Structure 1
């Protein structure tokens, strides 16, 4: 067999044997930007040196984006498949007014570098092996399902996978052509789309409206026998959960993404509603309270030692970026220029960042007065 020139970049990437380690090098280079729909793009990334990505389909990466003079953290589900380990991709819908999605669509281009941490997350079919799956997604919630579907397809796994996606119009069905091709090639894979309305250039011939029990029964008659994964906007996931519960589905086999991958405003609304329940709750007697100052906005609040800085900020009406509230995604990562905290995180921050004074506000309780660089 003729040898392949090592000067060929593609050959060098395919020859990679070492895994990508975000702790050693968190920089990822944008290789390509692909238009999926009129307002959805996929960004394909690779390390600067050839490395292999290892992750479970459905997991996510937490990114650090330099936007203006600010570093903003966001978590995005991996839409690519671990069966193609030489690159990784994430898919983003442009959200009106969304600071990150609009920046990505307008600015991130091949050759640019972003920083990432991960992979992370437990929302994956690998955690719940089954012979029959039902993947339910709405809008941009299709990304973890696409990773799962691509994985089973590439491996030619003898699995029965039914994929039901809800979109506004036929023009908004992300990955439509690929999903239809997979369904044509694989007898064990079925794809169904549900659209709320027609597109300007296409009258929708399939199920119309929002996903209902009747539509689900028609598309997947044996849905009660399947392992179900759900991802999408919170109202969609809430509606699907209520629908399955009403049908008597065994909810031990129902799995949904545990936090909102949408833009800040959506995540904040849900979090603020939760925090509002405790708005007037007084801390237990004898609990110390510390002063927390946000240097850039010059806002100041009092935070009890048994409460996280993020919760105290929400009660004070201070908007801070957050998503998972579990110390997992890294969205609320902030620099402490003064003071100390007790932080119990779930992997959303590196030790070297902690050593440099960074903290996850969602899982950090003050042990002294604080100054936060926000």
Structure 2
């Protein structure tokens, strides 16, 4: 039985004989050794000079706003401790598999993630970033600027735009904007056409519909895996647990590790991977509502069947999106223009 289960969990596009556990572990490369390779592809890893400049710009922006600043910050002090400003300066707050940098052609700040070349994450990101999927209006994955292979050492580098995980610091100013953001999550895409929040709930909805339509399950949908660019765009990250099920009509998974797990997985049972996402999506919608201060009774009604203990009675992602759109269409304009408790108190 164990071998059957494992065959369902393996990436469908990989023909490698590598063990599943071996290829899906966190990588810790020697970043200095890969500096030349990464820079030859147009991405510069952060040096001490880059870090010091970032802090200088940050402090100047605070001073311009009339804020007091303190220059005795660990990151800045650490960058100043090196004798050579051209030395790489690793962000101590990031795990060993991540490094900050700059995309030279665009000047965009990026995060480079090291993964095993046969990992589920690399397989998923490569698939979602390939045409025509990368330009699909429902693909709400983080923008990928480059994929760098070091096949000789089974290592891959994902160069992605640096977005913020601080959802609550970018709280939608109106209910319309908040609902728009949730819709994106139900759908899923790289660049959202919704520059409003009736564009967090949209992303939450759209992302799941898109992935499931392409026989993929994220299996770790949560607030911590949702980023924003502070321009009403939202994206999903971290596809370590993601599975593709091409050619498998009724897939089942077991032993998945994630943030918001449904009862069947908690109990060690087999689960429908798509309904695992639906459960996590319901938890995310309620969590986002609480964090942003929007009390929407209709969303509680929407999530009730999504959180049914019997996964077979949970709706599909497309059904959730359809009900969501019906709910939004029935909300009066005056209410859509209302603000959250956090904005109302300011």
* TM-score of the alignment, normalized to the shorter chain, above 0.5: no
Tell me the TM-score normalized by structure 2.
0.27
Task: Compare CA radii of gyration and give the structure with the larger one.
Answer: 1
Please state which structure has a larger fraction of its residues in strand: 1
